[in-house]
Amino acid sequence: MDSIPVNPWAFLKYLFPGNEAPKKGALYMGFDLSTQQLKGLVVDSDLKLVYEAKVDFDEDFKKYGIEKGVLTNPSEGEVFAPPAMWLEAVDLVLDRLRNAGLDFSKIKGLSGAGMQHGTVFWSADAESLLGHLDGRKTLVEQLESGGKGKKRGAFAHPMSPNWQDASTQKQCDEFDDHLGDAQTLADITGSKAHHRFSGPQIMRYRTKYPTHYEQTDRISLVSSFLASVFLGKIAPIDISDVTGMNLWSVSEGAWDDDLLELAAGSTAAVPELKRKLGHVPESGGDSFGPISSYFTTRYGFPASCQIIPFTGDNPSTILALPLRPSDAMVSLGTSTTFLMSTPTWKPDPAYHFMNHPTTPGLYMFMLCYKNGGLAREQIRDQLPGNKSWDSFNAAALSTPPLSQRRLKDPMRLGLYFPRPEIVPNLPSGQWRYSYSPQSPTNPTLTPLPSTPHPDDARNILESQFLSLRLRSTALVAPSPSPTNPSKMLPAQPRRVYLVGGGSANPALAQLCGEVLGSVEGIYKLDIGSNACALGSAYKAVWAVERKQGEGFEGFIGGRWDEGGLLRRVAEGYREGVFERYGDAVEGLRGVEERVLGEQREGGGRGKRTGATVIGSA
Ligand SMILES: Nc1ncnc2c1ncn2[C@@H]1O[C@H](COP(=O)(O)OP(=O)(O)O)[C@@H](O)[C@H]1O
Ligand SMILES: O=C(CO)[C@@H](O)[C@H](O)COP(=O)(O)O
């Protein structure tokens, strides 16, 4: 499909004519510390991308014994990664940017993002070590062990729990019960309890490693960990990322003492945990201060370079795009996430609401799946052939929708979870069913053999996009057809924007349009897979150059480049196909209910507060 440059923010130029003029020669950086990579990029004042580099953990740091960026302990469902590796990655990504020709002296500000929910446990020496780094030595040699000859380093615990961790069912049950039920927890914090959320994770850490917990002086999220390294002291947790912890009351704008009590173990221990977590500033755009002297000495950053709050990878991603309330973003990274920006606060145990990273009064709606990119790779590698995306795509596109070779054939539906899933809360496994919706009062669901099948390539994509459609219906509304305004189209997003590694794949884009629809089509940010780091770099430009009180949307809208940052990569709504997938949504709901029921009967994983198909929506 031809590129169609579009600029949905162009109109903002007229609404906000007072935008500051771009600073000539100024550069800004954005980072994305995600599961498998650290990416860094540089934009100029006009938001134009000028440099980018990345470190791939599996390729660059085999010595840490990681696979796909993480270490695992399957017997307890644990997934974690060493912050020491991320420190090495910071030096390496900056070396790569220098080798690419970047003049660090022009960097006026930097911000970044970290995969959400993960915690880093700092020791009592961390603050002093961060504040006295020697630019002639690496970060890892000075922080991991505290430097040559020293016993203690900056970490009270050598590992950071990863968002894929599934070891905290017991703690999640307690979190959901503590305030009454899962809905109440969602009403207060934006989400019911989730394995990966920091509150249940901190609670488990305290009981599994009591001595390390005792020795933990400060707790950072992955985002504030990275900000701390650049700042040279422990940086505050960000106002959006804090809503991925199950510990923060969104309406109060404060830590929730009842939930802190649960994580800390007693009422008396609440003040100490609150101190470890630190104060959370209300603004996502006010500078934390200038960069650490380590970076001025080693790389030549100016001493005035400002460190802007680092946020979660998903909140940062929504800053890279002109997201209107009826638009959706689908991030096809290691995880799959579905993101919307909305003024409506409507929490539910089935999904997440978070504070918007820059704009008070807006919230981020999110669905998150562990089984995104890695699950698709597993099916790709099971198919006959050369384990390439080309073969996968050929198989997906030569299979008819829902494997219905004739319209009256049953639909083929599956769940493909190499890792335990979040929604629905199921253990790892693959389940395949045939589904006949012909009789609405008596649809039939028949199990199929759980062995690899040539149709799996199409079926896994259908299953992933159907799950997004099933859970996001409440956020979209019917709208008039753009070609025939007297005709109303069924509820669906206005546009879907694809980002993340999988957004390069045309088969994924096509299937996304067929299943999710979208009035104007499927779009892709034409800057590779770095939307998250780009959002952070935009935030840095806004934070440093905005006029007092100038909002993010107006500022960025005023500088947004008309010249083709977006590409329309697939059709959206197709009459007939969309409705057929509407029947399949009900089939998927049935498959999930069936598998969840079997798991409960078979003993499953204990009490499952998450074992609802779509919650109470
Ligand atoms: N052409 C492609 N088709 C489908 N998936 C792809 C393609 N290229 C990369 N990917 C997927 O992108 C994932 C990495 O996405 P990325 O957004 O870079 O990672 P992260 O989530 O770690 O930030 C890989 O797991 C891989 O499955
Ligand atoms: O857990 C979530 C969101 O709740 C994940 O989206 C992580 O934030 C990591 O994502 P990747 O960018 O590594 O896929």
Judged by its nearest atom, the ligand closest to the C-alpha of residue 196 is 2
Distance 428 CA to ligand 2 centre (A): 18
Task: Average the pLDDT over 253-281 and give the result.
Answer: 98
Q: Please answer whether residues 535 and 31 qualify as being in contact, where contact means their C-beta atoms are separated by less than 8 angstroms.
A: no
Distance 7 CA to ligand 1 centre (A): 26
What pLDDT is attached to residue 450? 87
Judged by its nearest atom, the ligand closest to the C-alpha of residue 163 is 2
Percent of the chain at pLDDT > 70 equals 92
Q: What's the rounded Cα separation, in Å, for the pair 231 and 239?
A: 18
Handedness of CA 581, 587, 592, 593 (dihedral sign): positive
Residues 6 or more apart whose CB falls under 8 angstroms from that of 210 comprise none
Q: Which residue has the higher pLDDT, 312 or 7?
A: 312
Per residue in 412-454, pLDDT tens?
Answer: 999 999 988 988 989 999 999 999 987 666 779 999 998 999 9
pTM: 0.89
Q: What's the rounded Cα separation, in Å, for the pair 514 and 180?
A: 40
C-alpha closest to that of 108 among 532, 552, 544, 534: 544
Residue 12 predicted with pLDDT over 90: no
- Which of 189, 198, 314 to mutate to test ligand 2, by most ligand atoms within 8 A of the CB atom? 314
- Which of 35, 119, 226, 364 to mutate to test ligand 2, by most ligand atoms within 8 A of the CB atom? 35
> Could you tell me if the CB of 317 is within 6 A of ligand 1?
no
DSSP classification of residue 388: -
Handedness of CA 348, 349, 351, 357 (dihedral sign): positive
Q: Is the preceding omega at residue 400 within 30 degrees of 0, hence cis?
A: no
> Could you tell me if the CB of 34 is within 6 A of ligand 1?
yes
C-alpha closest to that of 243 among 360, 336, 148: 360
> Could you tell me if the CB of 371 is within 6 A of ligand 1?
no
Q: What's the rounded Cα separation, in Å, for the pair 485 and 124?
A: 64
In ligand 1, the atom with minimum distance to the C-alpha of 36 is 22
3-state secondary structure of 236: coil
In ligand 1, the atom with minimum distance to the C-alpha of 334 is 21
The label of the residue with tokens 């510990």 reads: 247
Q: Please answer whether residues 380 and 392 qualify as being in contact, where contact means their C-beta atoms are separated by less than 8 angstroms.
A: yes
The H or E element that residue 24 is part of is none
Per residue in 543-566, pLDDT tens?
Answer: 999 999 899 988 998 888 745 688
Judged by its nearest atom, the ligand closest to the C-alpha of residue 190 is 2
What pLDDT is attached to residue 563? 59
In ligand 2, the atom with minimum distance to the C-alpha of 114 is 8
Task: Average the pLDDT over 195-208 and give the result.
Answer: 98
Burial label for 572, CB within 10 Å (0-12, 13-18, 19+), is: buried
Distance 532 CA to ligand 2 centre (A): 11
E-strand ranges in 45-180 read 49-56, 71-73, 78-81, 107-114, 119-122, 160-161
- Beta strand pairing status for 248-249 and 254-255? antiparallel
Q: Going by CA atoms, what residue is nearest to atom 27 of ligand 1?
A: 373
Residue 77 predicted with pLDDT over 60: yes
- ipTM for the predicted complex comes to 0.96
Distance 369 CA to ligand 1 centre (A): 14
What pLDDT is attached to residue 425? 86
Q: Please answer whether residues 319 and 552 qualify as being in contact, where contact means their C-beta atoms are separated by less than 8 angstroms.
A: yes
Distance 440 CA to ligand 1 centre (A): 38
Distance 335 CA to ligand 2 centre (A): 5
DSSP classification of residue 453: -
In the chain, the amino acid numbered 255 is W
In the chain, the amino acid numbered 548 is Q
- Which of 505, 511, 525, 569 to mutate to test ligand 1, by most ligand atoms within 8 A of the CB atom? 505
> Could you tell me if the CB of 199 is within 6 A of ligand 1?
no
Q: What's the rounded Cα separation, in Å, for the pair 403 and 458?
A: 8
